[in-house]
Amino acid sequence: MPETLTELLAALTLLDSTNPALVTGGAGESAIAQFVVHWLTAHSIAAELDEAAPGRFSVIATVKGTGGGSSLLLNAHLDTVGTEGMDHPFEPVVRDGRMYGRGTYDMKSGLAACLMALLDAKASPLRGDVILTAVADEEHASLGMQSVLKRVTADAAIVTEPTELCVSIAHKGFTWHEITTYGRAAHGSRPDLGIDAIAHMGRVLGKLEALGQELTARESHPLLGHGSLHASLITGGQELSSYPNRCTLHVERRTLPGEMPEAVTGEISALLTELSSDPNFRAEHHLTLSRPPFGIDPAAPIVQTLQASATQVLGTPPTLIGQTFWMDSAFLAAAGIPTVVFGPCGGGAHATEEWVDLTSAEQCRQVLTATLRAFCA
């Protein structure tokens, strides 16, 4: 049974938890979820599985308080992205104070820090509950987080995604859009009969490019900068000698706190309305997925408590930052749980060489422990 953070992280890294929604045949979270439950149970911490979808398991664990204190939720995700191009991705290697392997940085080191902090909470009884949610599917659709939030709540939460030991209080959201332009199929020699759906999508791309440039002229977020927009995927046509009767474009729009999906969708639809002044232009637009941005007031009690605890452990005040990528913190905040993000240092998230600084992982554990002792006292 691994007892140190480094041993625990190595044991977690050995377990393939590739998200099957991202990689066909991916192992999923079952084995690692069962390991976490077994490890917690062996340390006399109550833990149970939550199945968000067939075979997609999360873990909920609680160190009960004596009563009357604030509750704090620690969160990490169990799944990882794929391993194409990696040699021995699930064999943890320690070199020069770093551990290499898929998931070490994103984010099994954060999970290990949470688990060790639960041991610390059990050893120092607090008035408030300390809750762990180790969730499935964060790298795809967040099925795990959405499921566990039906069962748990807390007075505050810390997500232990990697932040380089900075305190993250904001991140961008995103919306996904599908735009289809319609033409008229005809032989390539008959321009009098055909309408080119791909050429019409070219007009849409020009409008979207202009919108993307206009976003950079809007007021920026102090930590996140500007929203953005890009064309991600495009398909259309059937052969060289035919006019294409349809073309489909998938677009991603990265959003800032305060930008609502309805408004973002309306802006894109308005561009298509402008183009429809041409009677031959016909297009449809659908919002296919929306994930909210995240932000918390730096004066919020959980932010202040975490900052003070990190200063105590690290010897210097941590920097307040925002992050461009999306995290489950947005779902926690949307559920009414004040949330902050704090995690270790490293590199190679989603890359072919991934690593975490082991000293920073231990410091993360110490900051979590100091925070829960202050917040849940």
Q: Give the DSSP H or E segment for 203.
A: helix 197-215
| Span 130-189, pLDDT tens digits | 999 999 999 999 999 999 999 999 999 999 999 999 999 999 999 999 999 999 999 999
What is the share, in percent, of the chain residues with pLDDT greater than 90? 99
pLDDT of the residue at 300:
98
Tokens 């209080």 — which residue? 169
Whether the per-residue pLDDT at 106 is higher than 90: the answer is yes
CA–CA distance, 317 with 310 (Å, rounded to integer): 7
- Cβ neighbours, 10 Å, residue 219: 7
| Span 203-250, pLDDT tens digits | 999 999 999 999 999 999 999 999 999 999 999 999 999 999 999 999
Distance in Å from the first CA to the final CA of the chain: 30
Beta pairing partners, 170: 295, 322
Tokens 């664990």 — which residue? 61
CA–CA distance, 174 with 339 (Å, rounded to integer): 19
Whether the per-residue pLDDT at 125 is higher than 90: the answer is no
Q: Please choose, from the candidates 62, 26, 82, 41, the residue with its C-alpha nearest in 3D space to the C-alpha of residue 148.
A: 62
Buried b (16+ CB within 10 A) or exposed e, 316-326: eebebbbbeeb
Q: What is the DSSP letter of 108?
A: I
pLDDT of the residue at 326:
96
All domains in the chain, ordered by first residue: 5-171+293-375 (3.40.630.10), 173-291 (3.30.70.360)
Assign 1 a pLDDT band (cuts: 50, 70, 90): confident
| Span 44-102, pLDDT tens digits | 999 999 999 999 999 999 999 999 999 999 999 999 999 999 999 999 999 999 999 99
Whether the per-residue pLDDT at 282 is higher than 90: the answer is yes
CA–CA distance, 322 with 69 (Å, rounded to integer): 29
> Cis bond leading into 107, ω under 30°?
yes
Query: What does each C-alpha distance from 116 to 44, 112, 169, 176, 230 come to in angstroms?
Result: 13, 6, 24, 37, 41
Q: What is the pTM of this model?
A: 0.93
- What sign results for the dihedral spanned by CA atoms 204, 205, 209, 215? positive
pLDDT of the residue at 147:
98
CA–CA distance, 272 with 259 (Å, rounded to integer): 20
Tokens 């920026």 — which residue? 220
CA–CA distance, 286 with 294 (Å, rounded to integer): 24
CA–CA distance, 59 with 5 (Å, rounded to integer): 19
Q: What mean pLDDT is reported for the chain?
A: 97
Q: What is the DSSP letter of 299?
A: T
Assign 340 a pLDDT band (cuts: 50, 70, 90): very high
